């Protein structure tokens, strides 16, 4: 049987975490001021796969500024398409509606729920979707972590729980969205906010 690295065409450094599973960790090349770490859990027979995203950036702003842009509705609307009337409170739910993608088995609706809030440190929420109402086939979690560093803030984004071939494929699309679209809008909002242009 071909190895996972042979199938995917990647160089990996696996290590065993149980008798029937291997965790594979490899790194994406550094782009601009971000670095992406991929984790894929694979059974030895490749029946089950999981991919998690971890992207980090450094900003010359205090954690208070970053936190405001992550949690304040007026600021969220400047960079997040799914913000709505957001509340940084555990249990708060909201939904985003976009054009459906039938080939991806997605009806265009994404469901969110705040799972954890640690002011100025951590914000986590579920990120779910599926082919139709009541059927969830994508069940992931987005976590933002803020770490004070070098008179600024290191911002970590974790998007975890992409299981199965279709969702792993979707994770690559979402990764590009985080890096090339969402985060650029966030950077612009941070710049405007830091200069008092709320």
Identify the segments of the chain with pLDDT beneath 50. 1-33, 38, 40-47, 198
- Give me the residue label for tokens 């265009």: 108
Q: Is residue 47 part of a domain?
A: no
Phi, psi of 194 (to 5 degrees): -65, -25
Residue 147: which CATH number? 3.30.530.20
Q: What is the pLDDT of residue 81?
A: 59
User: In terms of residue numbers, what domain contains 96?
Assistant: 54-194
Q: What is the pLDDT of residue 44?
A: 45
Q: Is residue 38 part of a domain?
A: no
Q: What is the pLDDT of residue 48?
A: 58
User: How many domains does the chain fold into?
Assistant: 1
Q: Is residue 142 part of a domain?
A: yes
Task: Produce one character per residue of 73-99: b if its CB has 16 or more CB atoms within 10 Å, e if not.
Answer: eebbebbbeebbebeeeeebebebeee
- Give me the residue label for tokens 């599973």: 21
For residue 144, the tally of other CB atoms under 10 A from its CB is 17
Structure tokens that stand for 93 in this block:
């739910």
- Are residues 26 and 11 in contact, defined by beta-carbon separation less than 8 angstroms? yes
Q: What is the pLDDT of residue 165?
A: 87
Q: Is residue 34 part of a domain?
A: no
Q: What is the pLDDT of residue 101?
A: 84
Q: What is the pLDDT of residue 83?
A: 61
Q: Is residue 31 part of a domain?
A: no
Q: Is residue 26 part of a domain?
A: no
Task: Name the nearest CA neighbour of 105 among 65, 137, 66.
Answer: 137
Q: Is residue 163 part of a domain?
A: yes
Task: Name the nearest CA neighbour of 39 among 26, 56, 55, 57.
Answer: 26
The vertex-116 CA angle with 111 and 121, nearest 5°, equals 125
**Cα(198)–Cα(192) distance, integer angstroms:** 7
């Amino acid at each position: 049987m071909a190895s996972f690295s042979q199938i995917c065409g990647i160089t990996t450094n696996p290590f065993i975490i149980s008798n029937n599973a291997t965790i594979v960790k490899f790194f994406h090349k550094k782009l601009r001021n971000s670095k992406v770490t991929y984790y894929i859990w694979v059974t030895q027979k490749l029946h089950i796969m999981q991919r998690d995203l971890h992207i980090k950036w450094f900003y010359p702003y205090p954690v208070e500024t970053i936190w405001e842009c992550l949690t304040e509705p007026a600021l969220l609307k400047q960079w997040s398409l799914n913000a709505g009337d957001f509340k940084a409170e555990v249990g708060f739910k909201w939904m985003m509606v976009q054009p459906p993608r039938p080939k991806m088995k997605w009806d265009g609706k994404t469901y969110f729920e705040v799972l954890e809030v640690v002011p100025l440190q951590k914000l986590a929420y579920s990120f779910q979707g599926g082919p139709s109402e009541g059927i969830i086939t994508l069940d992931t979690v987005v976590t933002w972590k803020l770490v004070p560093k070098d008179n600024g803030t290191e911002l970590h984004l974790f998007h975890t729980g992409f299981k199965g071939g279709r969702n792993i494929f979707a994770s690559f699309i979402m990764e590009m969205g985080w890096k090339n679209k969402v985060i650029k809008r966030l950077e612009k909002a941070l710049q405007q906010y830091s200069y008092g242009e709320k």
